[in-house]
Structure 1
Amino acid sequence: MLVKRLLRGLQSAIMSDKYNVAFVLGGPGAGKGTQCEKIVKEFGYVHLSAGDLLREERAKPGSEFGDMIEEHIKNGTIVPVEITCSLLERAMKNSEKNDFLIDGFPRNQNNLEGWNKQMGEKVNLKFVLFFNCPLEVCTQRCLDRGAAGSGRSDDNMESLKKRFDTYMNATMPIIEHYEALNLVQTIDATRSPEEVFEDVKPLFS
């Protein structure tokens, strides 16, 4: 018994040196950002949006990656994983907290492999939070968001078609990969934000 307790203590100490991460995935407009805001407020996690970090980097004067990131965002294609992982790791290092929601990542097999190579040993992956929402609902939400002045260059039908293609062909296989590892928590995201959050809360309590 003593040995088991010591081993558990050692395991906890090792885990505490790692970043605690929950990936947040779902189609464009599934409500990932809205739910992340609620989780941050209620449970004190740090919300890191891969897309937001890339957009911030793109907007920085003199950024060596700015033009390349802009081109990928406009085309609905995926920025090289090394850049995204570096931005995520920098944000985690700069945080005073150790619990993170990583929103919109990993989005494809290359992201997954790059993350495992660059960050796998530094992270305790708790689970993947998957907001499941039909594409027609997601499309309307994004178009409404764009019409309301979201300021996002990709909230238009042309970019959305490319983003949905990327999501269905590249991101869904990643969700299926984690499902095979019993790491996916699926939430019905067609409902109101308040109703969705009622299902999210028990996962973090």
Structure 2
Amino acid sequence: MAPSSTSTKSSKPIIIFVIGGPGSGKGTICERLKTKYGFTHLSTGDLLRDEVASGSELGKELNQIMQSGKLVSNQHVLNLLKRSIEKNLSKSKGFLIDGYPREINQAIEFEKQIAPCSLVLYFHCSDTVMMERLINRGKTSGRVDDNVETIKKRLQIFHSNSDPILEYLKPKLAKIDGDKSIESVLESVELVIAKLMHV
């Protein structure tokens, strides 16, 4: 395998937005892609939780916001993403941004402040399948949001927010059938990424 070029920093990084409803399999597929392609997998939820766990001043502020039931500002999330991308730029083949953008404004600001996105992987999954997966996950995950009522609300929010994003990012969009098995989904995604990597 050829060593990675030192010009990576100056060239545009590969940025892949990974969009899909809760339970659409985004996280699972991202972990596989990370291993296979040497990508960095960034989940905004994980970045927020890690910052809170670090006990930093920002972490304390974020914790207060989340505990009061408010949404963390887009700018806070963008800053965390930017910091992680810059930190991993020289050693990463690309970035999988998992579950982001959640609304159109985030997509616009990300491309303005950080870098244009190279590809959007949209895991299209039926509500029935997502509901089943989350309820099954809830049996062992211990996550408070894996219950029927909360799942219904999360799906509703996802649908109302994702349509404008998908329209805005349409030229870069690859729609993947997320109802299929992990192996089938992975196969479809790898075909899309192979094209991207050879451009």
TM over 0.5: yes
Q: Which of 66, 69, 85 is the matching residue for 1:69?
A: 66
Once the two structures are superposed, residues 103-137 of structure 1 have per-residue CA deviations (whole angstroms, 9 ceiling, x without a partner) of: 11111123223323322xxx242110000001111
SS at match of 1:125: coil
In structure 1, what residue type is equivalent to 2:174?
Q
CA drift at 1:54 = 1.8
Q: Distance in 2 between matches of 1:106 and 1:39?
A: 19
SS at match of 1:107: coil
Q: Which of 85, 89, 92 is the matching residue for 1:92?
A: 85
The residue aligned with 1:152 is: 143
CA 1:47–1:157 in structure 2 vs 1: closer, same or farther (change >3 Å)? same
Where does structure 2 lack aligned partners over 5 or more consecutive residues? 1-6, 195-199
The residue aligned with 1:193 is: 182
CA drift at 1:196 = 0.8
Q: Distance in 1 between matches of 2:188 and 2:40?
A: 20
Q: Distance in 2 between matches of 1:71 and 1:195?
A: 41
In structure 2, what residue type is equivalent to 1:146?
G
CA 1:196–1:47 in structure 2 vs 1: closer, same or farther (change >3 Å)? same
TM normalised by structure 2 equals: 0.83
Identity %: 37
The residue aligned with 1:52 is: 46
1:3-42 to 2 correspondences below 5 Å: 16-42=10-36
Q: Which of 129, 133, 139 is the matching residue for 2:125?
A: 133
The residue aligned with 2:76 is: 83
In structure 1, what residue type is equivalent to 2:144?
S
- Count of residues in correspondence between the two structures: 183
Q: Distance in 1 between matches of 2:49 and 2:120?
A: 23
Where does structure 1 lack aligned partners over 5 or more consecutive residues? 1-12
